[in-house]
Structure 1
Amino acid sequence: MADFQHLITPALTFSGVALISLVCQLGAWRLRLPAILFLLLAGILLGPIAGLLSPDEFLGDLLFPLVSLCVALILFEGSLTLKFEQLKETGTVVRRLVTLGALVTWGVISVACYWLIGLDPALSALFGALVVVTGPTVIVPMLRTLRATQRISQVLRWEGILIDPIGALLAVLVYEWIAAQTAGDNGFTAGLLIFAKVVCYGTVAGVAGGALMATAMRRRWIPEYLEVLASLTLVLVTFTLANELAHESGLLAVTVMGIWLANARGVDIEEILVFKEHLSVLLISGLFILLAARLDLGALLALGWPALVLLLVIQFVARPLAVWVSSLGSELNWRERALIAWIGPRGIVAAAVSALFALRLEQAGYEDAALVSALTFAVIIGTVVFQSATARTVARLLRVTEPERRGVLMIGANAVARGLGEVLQKLDVPLLVVDTHWESISQARMKGLRTLRGNPLSTQVDSNLDLTGLGTLLTITPERERNALLNQHFRRDFAAHRIFTVRNERSGTNERMQISANHEGVPIGPEGMTFSKLSSLVSQGARFKATTLTEGFSFTQWQQEAGKGRTALLALTPERRVRVFSPEQPLQPEADWTLIYLETATEQPAPKREADSDPVLPDQAAQS
């Protein structure tokens, strides 16, 4: 064993942690479960159980500053997502959940921890603040398998996004208070003064850092390709300087800096946010394995039933009470409230911040500080495992799941997509249109379509994408490679036979230059119907229309009358399921099916044969 340990070099250890992190992320992606669960379990297996990884011995004096800097970057990235305008748009229930509900959760858990575990009141308050946070990294994977109603999904998703920085700020403030009390040798007054100093310096440093970065970006002092590097550097500088001015004020400073930058006018932080997301995934993946490897399982298991009762209080008392208080007077019915109360898994911020605070408080002389981190990790594992296993069953029992994924996710908001989307909307088909171009999205919104502006391949858009009720993917862009990449990306959310794409012209005759058909979706429309042809027809006046077949007016008759002036692209079954015309999936529509087709401007419809001059509603049938 000694010889084996001698072979484990620092380079091999870092490489091994990186490899295990990737395996955990891939496993979470395949199983649609929060990655944090796999990362924590991997760390526990490598550390306390197998004894192969000891972060204290491996990193030595570098452990504390490394964890501190990583947590600072994670908090900054999370605070970049908190825009005050979102608080106005998310509704009363979400605003209450992240404010009043967070305070109720904090109070209940703190008292329960004090009475059940016997921790110091200050440490109990810190633990309560740490486990207030849920977070999108644990909520979104659960929602994708849950298929809850849109109203429930929106509440849970927005709560997870907004509670991240707010809960982290609460935990930082509680910790700063404890640190101030520890440093204040002259009692409560001295501790209060130190706390005020920490909050003041942290806030001022954060505002200064955020204002400086926003001004530099707004006035183009920094070229675009250096904005990410500049923001990363300024975060580290702000964190370090704030700690020098007032001990332990750095975390508050970077949180305030991120919130300031997120709400600065005339500043585009999308590139910074995307990079920080990738950096956070890298840091979180490796950091959590290292932190989980430090857990004292013996001390946690020694707590016995009190720890289990604490977990039950969090699940069945704190969360339901917070949801009940936050939803008073809202439009949510009791079933929706019950499911929201059932779901509240703890996530990344809680684990990272708790481990850092445990390290610092241990150095400050708090003997039970390690229990705070161990209890936090136990709550994360307990809530994720229990709720992932039971949430879908509970949702079905409460009858708050979407009936069937009959809607359409449409990538592209160009003229072709807008015309098709307008018909789908008039037929009451759930629809979400996603595009990166502001002008196209604006025109889609003017037509009343539900839209989302952003790149579906970005981490931010992907994690916030509401796919509730959407079971068909249509990629309608002029870029063949982009369509293929999008189709591959969404195979985790849509069945392969429900992913469709418009054809695009091939770039050449050389097969070595072509995209494999395996990477593309099922083609839409008949042979020869490409995006450029569709776009050309629409620009010349062609319009998407709809008509409903009857017993007296069959699909064959429609085809005979349509001639070459009409091309059927989609159809709706009597059960309102979307079907797509494609050579790979032949369709034979019957009575009560609704056809969606493109009619060229030159084609004159047969008089009084079918009422299809405009998109018809499902209850309108064509007359023969």
Structure 2
Amino acid sequence: MNEHAVVALSITLLAGMGCQWIAWRLRLPAILFLLLCGILLGPMMNWLDPNRLFGSLLFPFISLAVAVILFEGSLTLKFKDIPGLEKVIRNLITLGVFVTWLITALAVRWLLFFSWEISFLFGALMVVTGPTVIVPMLRTVRPRENVAHILRWEGILTDPIGATLAILVYEFIVSGGTAGGFQSGAVVFLKIIAIGGFFGALGGYLFGIVLRRNMLPRYLHNFAALATVCAVFALSNTLEAESGLLSVTVMGICLANMKGLELEDILDFKESLSILLISMLFIILAARINLNAFIALGWPGLAVLGIIQFLARPLNAQLSALGSKLIPTERHLLAWIAPRGIVAAAISALFAIKLEGIGYQDASQLVPLTFMVIIGTVLLQSTTAGLIAKWLKVREPEPRGFLIIGANTLAQTIAKALQDNGFRVVVTDPNWDYIAEAKMNGLPAYWGNPASEHAERHLDLTGIGHLIAVSPNIELNALSAHYYRLEFEKKRIYAVGNHPPKNGNAEKKSAFKYGGRHLFREDMTYQTLNRYVTGGADIHTTLLTDEFSYEDYLQQHRNTRLPLFAIDDNENIHVFTPDPQFSPASGWKILALSIDAPIKAVD
């Protein structure tokens, strides 16, 4: 038995990792592949049985996992990101929730003939969207910043709201009457708000004080955050069932908006942990699906899905956006994106078990209908949202541009060459003289420290996907590379060397852990490159052909040109490093620094 459990857990983890990798390669939300994998391992192959595997620990594990996921998502909710959008978000989590709840409940009642009680419970479950599906979809779709911020806030805030609403409906059901139900529901609602809000705010404030005063060593920050989240969640739930989701959400928002806190390491850890938990949860929950009940829903079930997607969501979004600064095309995209996620799946399974136990037979259909909506909304929206955003012209451009640290002569030369080849660039420098010169040369520029709080608020990174640090200040280069490591992929962060090869020991002693990949050639330092550029060297573009290959190019210009960038035939750019991971071919363009003398390292 123990051996089977270990094997089952290991294979679940491996399957989750495989689904995440496939989703990354195909640029689709991982939830699709996780659900399919769970259905394959569970009801189709009868190999994975979560009830037997976890026993009585199944729902406690799901509850804690959902709490961690919600906390990680709420850590990204900063009020400074939503100026002018507060009204839309408020409407979505109040008026919008009511509209979705009512329309969904009526659709289930009239199409599937559920009892009124179960219909309104299912409607409550369907008001949630959730960060587990919204965030991956936003990465793929890349909508405009306004829409992205609204969807992220809505997805995280509606999770505890939907759970609370479902609890209220459940209390109404078990109280067995209108008068008793309303009275019981009002008491429960007030207790959830009071307990969840109080312990969430208290936990966030106290943990923030601990971090701000450095009362914990850095290596314990992640562990302490996880332990505190679980403790706050458990304490809230002990005092009032399901208030824990509100607590951890409030705790995360409090921490995200406290001044003077460094949360990057905690965010990084929580993001990795969330990926692990999401992968396991969707496989485990999908493995519990009753396929016969799923298929038995038939056309009425699909009709409910259609009403949620094509009536409830558009009406919700359009009403919520009235009077806002959102343009019509942004509202249309907002009306299309609302995938359901892990909270709906987890809570539906919990209430199905409870209600079946007290005699509500149609409660058994809650889980298959919930998964039909989850799969339907994710599949439909993930495959079409990007095309719709592009058609509506509210999609951010492919992040191919460059944030260049430094606005000196070398940085401006590189930036100008990239700009001339159609790539967006932004140069940054604390030196105003350099910035003024860059602006006169037609380069977008930011004056100040690129790793400052001011830069976080004002530096426009739309379309930017690479960082190149070419400042003579090695500390600024390393700080910028470290600061933006969560904004850009690790492989797209580069920094110029600051010590020649003969001083290799100095290079090792001054190296930084997150200093970025070495730019260009091993012997090319800032001092060397800057001397060439200030001496009159410029950057030339050469097109490779079948008759003039990259090998021919190297042979002809081995000692007179330094390759900097390669642009392939799909207009994707590649940066040369001491160990380039690409091979230029016919149709590619090579951007190289052209000089009159053999290249040598210069002190």
Per the normalisation by structure 1, the TM-score is 0.69
Q: What amino acid is the match of 2:366?
A: V
Distance change (3 Å), C-alpha of 1:196 and 1:13: same
Task: Report the secondary structure of 1:215's partner residue.
Answer: helix
- The match for 1:285 among 263, 279, 289 is 279
Q: Deviations over 1:444-492 (max 9, x none)?
A: 99934899869xxxxxx9xxx999756x746446789x99xx99x9899
Distance 1:432 1:103 in 2: 45
Length, aligned pairs only: 540
Residues 572-598 of structure 1 deviation map (CA, whole Å, 9 limit, x = unaligned): 9xxx998999998699999xxxx9989
Q: Distance in 2 between matches of 1:25 and 1:397?
A: 28
1:265 aligns with 2:263: no
- Decide whether aligned partners of structure 1 residues 419 and 233 sit closer, same or farther in structure 2, where only a CA change above 3 A counts: same
Match for 1:409 among 397, 402, 410?
Answer: 402
* Residue in structure 2 matching 1:160, options 118, 135, 151: 151
Unaligned runs of 5+ in 1: 1-5, 455-460, 514-519, 549-565, 600-624
How far residue 201 of structure 1 moved from its aligned partner, in angstroms, is: 2.2
Structure 1 residues 235-384: aligned runs within 5 Å: 235-328=229-322, 334-359=328-353, 366-384=360-378
Alignment match of 1:207 (pick from 190, 201, 223): 201
Which amino acid in 2 is paired with 1:221?
M
Measure how far apart 1:377 and its partner are.
1.8
Aligned to 2:50: 55
Paired position in structure 1 for 2:601: none
Pairwise CA distance, 1:267: 2.6
User: CA 1:426–1:475 in structure 2 vs 1: closer, same or farther (change >3 Å)?
Assistant: closer
**Which string of whole-angstrom CA distances, capped at 9 and with x for unpartnered residues, describes residues 35-63 of structure 1?**
11111111111111111111112221121
- One-letter amino acid of the structure 2 residue matched with residue 109 of structure 1: T
Three-state SS of the structure 1 residue aligned to 2:82 is helix
Aligned residue for 2:545? Answer: none
CA distance in 2, matches of 1:65, 1:58: 14
Structure 2 residue matching 1:9: 3-state secondary structure: helix
1:173 to 164, 167, 180: 164
Change (3 A) 1:522 1:118: farther
Gaps of 5+ in 2: 509-515, 542-560, 596-603
Q: Which residue of 1 aligns with 2:554?
A: none
- The CA distance in 2 between the partners of 1:368 and 1:542, in whole Å, is 81
Q: Is the 8 A contact 1:433 1:450 kept in 2?
A: no
Change (3 A) 1:95 1:423: farther
Q: Within 2, Cα distance between the matches of 1:439 and 1:18?
A: 50
Aligned to 1:216: 210
Preserved contact between residue 211 and residue 261 of structure 1 (Cα < 8 Å): yes
2:557 corresponds to which residue?
Answer: none
| CA separation of 1:467 and 1:30: change in aligned 2, threshold 3 A | farther
Paired with 2:489 and 2:173, the residues of 1 have a C-alpha distance of 53
Do the aligned partners of residues 97 and 452 (structure 1) sit closer, same or farther apart at CA in structure 2, a change above 3 Å counting? farther
Instruction: Give the distance between the partners of 1:283 and 1:26, measured in 2 at CA.
Output: 15
Give the aligned partner of residue 88 of structure 1.
Answer: 83
Following TM superposition, by how much is the alpha carbon of 1:153 offset from its aligned partner in structure 2, in angstroms? 3.2
Q: Please give the per-residue CA displacement for 1:228-252, whole angstroms capped at 9, x wherever unaligned.
A: 2222222222222222223333333
Q: Does 1:197 align with 2:186?
A: no
Shift of 1:78: 2.1
1:575-590 to structure 2, matched below 5 A, reads none
Q: Matched residue of 1:409: which SS? A: strand
Secondary structure in 2 aligned to 1:266? Answer: coil
The question of whether the paired residues in 2 share the 8 Å contact of 1:43 and 1:290 is answered with yes
What SS does the aligned partner of 2:402 have?
A: strand
Q: Is residue 108 from structure 1 mapped to residue 103 from structure 2 by the alignment?
A: yes
Measured after TM superposition, the shift of residue 174 of structure 1 is: 0.7
Matched letter for residue 310 of structure 1: V
* 8 A contact 2:130–2:159 mirrored in 1: no
| Separation in 2, partners of 1:348, 1:52 | 22
Find the counterpart in structure 1 of residue 544 from structure 2: none
Q: 1:185-240 CA deviation, whole Å, 9 max, x = no partner?
A: 75432442233223322222222222221222223332222222222222222222
Partners of 2:225 and 2:266 within 8 A in 1: yes
Contact conserved, 1:424 with 1:431, CA < 8 A, in 2?
Answer: no
Distance change in 2, residues 1:112/1:257 (3 Å): same
Mapped to 2, the partners of 1:229 and 1:394 lie a distance apart of: 41
Distance in 1 of aligned mates of 2:299 and 2:5: 39
**Is the counterpart of residue 79 in structure 1 residue 74 in structure 2?**
yes
CA distance in 2, matches of 1:54, 1:281: 22
What do you get for the CA RMSD once the two structures are aligned?
A: 5.4
Letter in 2 for 1:62: L
SS, match of residue 311 in structure 1: helix
Q: Partner of 1:88: helix, strand, or coil? A: coil
Give me the whole-angstrom Cα distance separating, in 2, the residues matched to 1:105 and 1:542.
67
Q: Which amino acid aligns with 1:311?
A: L
Structure 1 residues 75, 393: closer, same or farther in 2, change over 3 A?
Answer: closer
Contact 1:109 1:318 in 2 (8 A): yes
Paired AA for residue 447 in structure 1: A
Pick closer, same or farther for the CA change 1:535–1:245 going to 2, 3 Å: farther
The 3 A distance-change label for structure 1 pair 264 and 369 is farther
Task: Tell me whether 1:38 sits opposite 2:41 in the alignment.
Answer: no
Inter-partner Cα distance in structure 2 for 1:298 and 1:188: 36
CA distance in 2, matches of 1:42, 1:158: 31
In the alignment, the residues of structure 1 paired with residue 417 and residue 346 of structure 2 have an alpha-carbon distance, to the nearest angstrom, of: 45
Cα distance, 1:317–1:182 mapped onto 2, change above 3 Å:
closer
Task: Measure the CA separation in 2 of the matches of 1:424 and 1:50.
Answer: 57
Residue 160 of structure 1 and its aligned partner are, at CA, apart by 3.2
SS of 1:72's equivalent?
A: helix
CA separation in 1, counterparts of 2:538 and 2:191? 67
- Say whether the 8 Å CA contact 1:70–1:283 is kept in structure 2: yes
Render the CA deviation track for 1:347-402: whole Å, top value 9, x for unaligned: 34443444445455556765444433322221121122223333455456656667
The percentage of counterpart residues that share the same residue type is 42
Q: How does 1:545-624 map to 2 (within 5 A)?
A: none
Q: What does residue 14 of structure 2 align with?
A: 19
2:194 partner letter: C
Measured in 2, the distance between the counterparts of 1:542 and 1:129 equals: 69
Tell me: CA distance 1:138–1:305, structure 2 relative to 1, closer, same or farther (3 Å).
same
* C-alpha displacement of 1:530: 3.6
Cα deviations across residues 86-114 of structure 1 (Å, max 9, x unaligned)? 23265766665565545433443333233
Residues 366 and 452 from structure 1, CA distance in 2 versus in 1: closer, same or farther, beyond 3 angstroms? Answer: farther
